[in-house]
Structure 1
Amino acid sequence: MPDRPRLEEALGLLRAELVTGQSEMTEWTTRSAWLAFTRFGRRRFGTAPTPDSDGLLFQYGAYAFSGRPMFTVDLTRQFGVSDAGGEHDHYVQVHCELRYEPEPDLDALGSFDSWFFHDADADLDEWFAAMEEHPALLLGRRPSEIDLYEEPV
C-alpha cells in the first residue's frame, strides 16, 4: 500500500487536519475538532487488511485523567501493529482529547463510547452520522483543554 501514509505519520496528519482553517488551538471548538477527526478518519493508513487493524473510537464522560474531574470527549484512532512475522504485536492509539469544565448539563450526558473498524463491512458515513447526534450540546463550545498524543496499548 505505497499510496497510504505510514502509522508513524498519523499524529502529524491529525494535527494538520486540526489546524486547517484555525490560526491557533484556542480557536478550536468541538465542531471543528469533530470535522477534523472525520477527515482524518476517512484517510486510510498502511495497516493490515484485517477487521481490527484500523479503528475509530468516539467516547465521552466525566473523568479525572489529568488529576481533576473534567468532562472529556476523546476522539481516538487505533492501529494494530504486527511483528516481523505478521502476527499482532500491539496497538497504537492517536488521541484528540477535548476537556471541559464540569457543568450539570454536561454531567447529565453520562458516558458513552462507540467503535468503528475499517475493513469490518460497516458504513463509515452511517457511523459518523450516528456519532454526530451525541455531542450536539458540545458542538459550539470551546474546550478548556486540548491534548493530542499517541500511545502504545
Structure 2
Amino acid sequence: MTLRPSIDEAVGLLEGELRAGQRALADLGTEDVWQAFLRFGRRLFDVSDAPDGDGLLFQYGTYSFDGPPTFTVDLTRQFEVSDADGEYDHYVQVHCELRYGSGRALEALGSFDSWFFHGAGADLEAWADELIEMPAWTTIRTLTPTDISVFQEQV
C-alpha cells in the first residue's frame, strides 16, 4: 500500500516540482510552471473522499490586490479539511501565483476560472487539454512572469 502525502507536505512538493529542472523560480516561464503544476496535480494526497475534497483551480485576470493592476495567473490546489467527526471544517489552498505586469493585450484577456476535482470522476488530462486549447492560452503560455510566488492559506 502506497502512503499518500499529507496536506502539510503540499507546498514543499509543489516547490520541488518547480525546482525539478534545477532552475531558479525567476528563470521559469509560464509553460514550465504549468507543467510543474500538472505534475503536482497528478499526485494524490491523504484527504477526504468528498467529491470536492481535492481540487485544482486555473484562474487568470487583471487584479490590484496589493498595488497597481497586474495580470495574474493563479494555479491553486484546494484541499478540504474535516473535523474529528468527519464533517467539513475548512479548506487549505496552495497557490502558485504568476504575475506579469499590465497592458492592453493582457487586460483584453479578461478573467477566467476553471476547476477540476479528483473525486468528481473527471479526467485531469482532459481538463488540462481543454485549458491549453483556449485562445487565451496562446498568449499566456509565451509570457515570462515578473514574479512567481508559492504560498498556502486557510479559507
Q: CA RMSD in A?
A: 1.2
Residues 27-42 of structure 1: pairs in structure 2 closer than 5 A: 27-42=27-42
Deviation readout 1:38-84 (Å, 9 max, x if unpaired): 00000000011110100000000000122221000000000000111
Partner of residue 67, structure 1: 67
AA paired with 2:107?
D
Paired AA for residue 63 in structure 2: Y
1: CA distance, partners of 2:22 / 2:146: 16
Aligned to 1:139: 141
* Matched-pair contact (CA < 8 Å) for 1:58–1:113: yes
Question: Following superposition, which runs of at least 4 residues in structure 1 exceed 6 angstroms of deviation?
Answer: none
| Distance across 2 between alignment mates of 1:120 and 1:107 | 33
Q: Letter of the aligned partner of 1:89 in structure 2?
A: D
Tell me, yes or no, if structure 1 residue 130 matches structure 2 residue 107: no
1:105 match: secondary structure: helix
Q: For residue 114 of structure 2, what is the aligned residue in structure 1?
A: 114
> In structure 1, what residue type is equivalent to 2:146?
S
User: Over residues 72-129 of structure 1, what are the superposed CA-to-partner deviations in whole Å (9 max), with x where a residue is unaligned?
Assistant: 0000000000111111100000000000110211111100000010110111111010
Shift, 1:133, TM fit:
2.5
- The letter for the 2-side match of 1:49 is D
Alignment of 1:9-88 (within 5 A): 9-88=9-88
Q: Is the 8 A contact 1:22 1:28 kept in 2?
A: no
Question: What's the offset of the Cα at 1:2?
Answer: 5.7
Aligned length: 153
Structure 2 CA distance for aligned equivalents of residues 118 and 65 of structure 1: 30
SS at match of 2:46: coil
Query: Percent of aligned positions with the same letter in both sequences?
Result: 56
Structure 1 distance, partners of 2:127, 2:149, is 24
Matching residue's letter, 1:32: D
What TM-score do you get using the length of structure 1 for normalisation?
Answer: 0.96
Residue 119 of structure 1: SS of its match in structure 2? helix
CA distance in 1, matches of 2:61, 2:141: 15
Which SS does the other structure have where 2:128 is aligned? helix
Q: Unpaired segments of 5 or more residues in structure 1?
A: none
Q: 1:148 aligns with which of 134, 138, 150?
A: 150
